[in-house]
Structure 1
């Protein structure tokens, strides 16, 4: 797999993973729940998906060569980016009011 394809795969996984908690009421889009998820459930699921996408990126970086060590700044930046990518799902779930 080329390096460019790996980068686009991680970006696509981040977009899907960031919006997935807000688009359905199932836990991780697999396990059914009775009722709606609370905001804290969405946040916990978002954190778990951030870690999974980060693990995917780490695995793809390992397959491409040596892993470059990261500091806290990297994780703060990617966390902020992940929250930014989650904005459309958040708006759809909490701010978009349907008529009828």
Structure 2
């Protein structure tokens, strides 16, 4: 009997989570978070979104910020996946595709940062 009760408790928890947010909404939130995280380092002008504005930031610093924000976005997505249900195993191909997708999401911010005309 305890096993059936445990299964029922898991189903009730999933129903509560499903009532909060379904898969499509979660995917949309993850995409928006990833897009913002990919573009914030290029648009903000601040180091890690704090401190004074610096227009002459080093490219290496931008890339480090970009990777940190990417890890944060991935962590948020992983937490949301845990709340929806079972976390699926991810192989190397998933991480390569994720990196390419995140790089693609960063294109608008990088273009705005490096190709816009600055007043002299």
Q: 1:10 is matched with which residue?
A: 30
Paired with 1:89 and 1:76, the residues of 2 have a C-alpha distance of 21
Structure 1, unaligned stretches of length 5 or more? none
Please identify the structure whose Cα radius of gyration is greater. 2
Equivalence map 1:1-100=2 (5 Å): 1-32=21-52, 36-98=56-118
More helix by share: 2
Structure 1 residues 99 and 35: CA distance shift in structure 2, 3 A: closer
Number of matched residues?
Answer: 100
Q: Which runs of 4+ in 1 moved over 2 A?
A: 30-36
The superposition leaves residues 39-83 of structure 1 with CA deviations (integer Å, 9 ceiling, x where unpaired) of: 111100010011001001100000011100101111111111111
Moved more, 89-98 or 58-67: 89-98
Structure 1 residues 35 and 85: CA distance shift in structure 2, 3 A: closer
Q: CA deviation at 1:11?
A: 0.1
Alpha carbon RMSD of aligned pairs, Å?
1.6
